[in-house]
Amino acid sequence: MDAQSLIARRIAQELRDGMLVNLGIGIPTLVANFVPKGIHVFFQSENGLIGTGPVPEPGMVLPWLTDAGGKPVTALPGASAFDSAMSFGLIRGGHLDITVLGGLQVDRRGLLANWMVPGKMVPGMGGAMDLVAGAKRVIVAMQHTAKGRPKIVRECALPLTSNRPVDLVVTELAVIGFPNGQATLLETQDGVSIEDVIAATEAELAISPDLTKPAIVPISPGAVSLPPVGEAK
């Protein structure tokens, strides 16, 4: 399994039945492919859709039905479309159970930088700032290094997205949390040692006394789903 799929599969194990979940662009979109069997979640896109489905089949693309990154999606039966004001009301009102976002850097305290690289063109900041501030739980999906350089650092060199720490970072090497403001190694991926993770991390890592390997959870066929009508939670 490739690195991005490993990350997405592990994050999908954080989903619980009936959750309202926002998936950012990039690796986070893959989480929908690994929803555990028997779990029904509502996927929300900040451009105004709850109930996003899989990528449409060839020839079935609707140009007005896209995710927040502008990529074509489908809408599942029971989906709801609304304007950006309602969408950001849900986000800012604290109604999202989980947001999964990509990351450029995360520091030792869990502060995230993911919205711009100085000197490079940025089409817009998107909803990342609102999502980090408003979601009940924030999970970062990113590869552990970029061009050999650690992305989990002592201090972010890039502009911060929020002054609120994220809850979890999942990479192809490890799962890292931030209890009491300290980057803490919670899990290592199969075949990865603690030393491997430390060598690829700039920030100092505490080691959880309950350090584990990830469990493999069966996924649902088709993965993306809404609860049956009348069973929403």
Please check whether residue 152 is in contact with residue 12, taking contact to mean a CB–CB distance below 8 angstroms: no
Among 14, 46, 172, 187, the one annotated catalytic: 46
Would you call 46 a catalytic residue per the annotation? Answer: yes
The model's pTM: 0.89
Residue-range domain boundaries for the chain: 3-207
**What is the dotted CATH code of the domain comprising 3-207?**
3.40.1080.10
Is 26 exposed, middle or buried, given 0-12, 13-18 or 19+ CB atoms closer than 10 A? middle
Ordered per-residue pLDDT tens for the chain, 233 residues = 899 999 999 999 999 999 999 999 889 989 998 999 999 999 999 889 999 887 888 999 999 898 888 888 889 899 999 999 999 999 999 999 999 999 999 999 999 999 988 777 766 667 899 999 999 999 999 999 999 999 999 999 999 999 999 999 999 999 999 999 999 999 999 999 999 999 999 999 999 999 987 766 666 655 555 554 444 44
